[in-house]
Amino acid sequence: MKEKIKIFLDTDLLEKYLLGDTSTEESLQVERYIAMYPEVRKTYEELQNNLEAYAKLHARKTPEGLKEIVLNRIRNEKAGRRRFYRYAVAASIVAFIFAGSSYFFWNQSKTLQHENTIVNNKIKNLEQDMKVQLEDIRNQYIVLNNPNTKRFSVNGNMKAKELKAIAYINPVKKLSYINVSSLPQLPEDQCFQMWAEVNGELVNLGVIKQFDDKEKLLALPYAENAIGYITIEPEGGNTAPTVKNIVANIDY
């Protein structure tokens, strides 16, 4: 065992350990030997004392002002850190503002896109309505001025003697219109409603308003041997004609 200790002491591991030059494995070995063997521990303590004595012997006096220099450097580093933190905070605030403004403008852009879509849809709907209206006006002109148009007088029965209308039928252009020029007064809870039976199917043509323009033409769906009705229905109209309340027939 003493041979093993002698071999260890003959190495320079203790000196290297004192100077901090040993590897992790070497440090562990030195610490293990110091803990296990009194001879090694005694030698280590002697080396440590000698190193301290040598350091004191050759120690130099601290230069004047060194303490103040060190303190100033520490203060400067602290001030630099504070500036860095301020800049970091300012940069964070700017980044946050930029992110917020970016989101705001993105959100505004999405809103404008949505509103633009709504406006474009409204414009398309208006254009479509205008096309339908222009087509209807063109058809009315044809019906009223075409020599092939046939005119039929429509009169109300005993329930609506004052009802007067003229139906315009053009079999060449396949167009049908009716102009209701006179309607009798009805109670407030009743209205006139127009229907058409086309190819075996009943079509609701809507309510005839009491104060409609007397020159207004109402379109009828065209079909050969079609039949039209005018009925008295509850205010607002009905989903099916009340047969007992038919006040006029329109054969075209």
CA 32 vs. chain centroid, Å, equals 70
Domains annotated for the chain, with CATH where assigned, are 2-57 (no CATH), 150-251 (2.60.40)
What whole-number distance in Å separates Cα of residue 51 and Cα of residue 19? Answer: 9
pLDDT digits (tens, 9 = 90+) for 55-92: 666 555 555 565 566 566 656 665 665 655 555 555 56
pLDDT digits (tens, 9 = 90+) for 16-68: 888 888 898 888 888 988 888 888 888 888 888 887 776 666 555 555 565 56
176: enclosing H helix or E strand: strand 175-182
What whole-number distance in Å separates Cα of residue 217 and Cα of residue 194? Answer: 13
- String of DSSP letters for 185-232: ---TTEEEEEEEEETTEEEEEEEE-TTS-TTPPEEE---TT-EEEEEE
Work out the mean pLDDT of the chain and round it to a whole number: 78
CA 88 vs. chain centroid, Å, equals 34
Query: What is the mean predicted confidence (pLDDT) over 178-191?
Result: 88
What whole-number distance in Å separates Cα of residue 230 and Cα of residue 90? Answer: 79
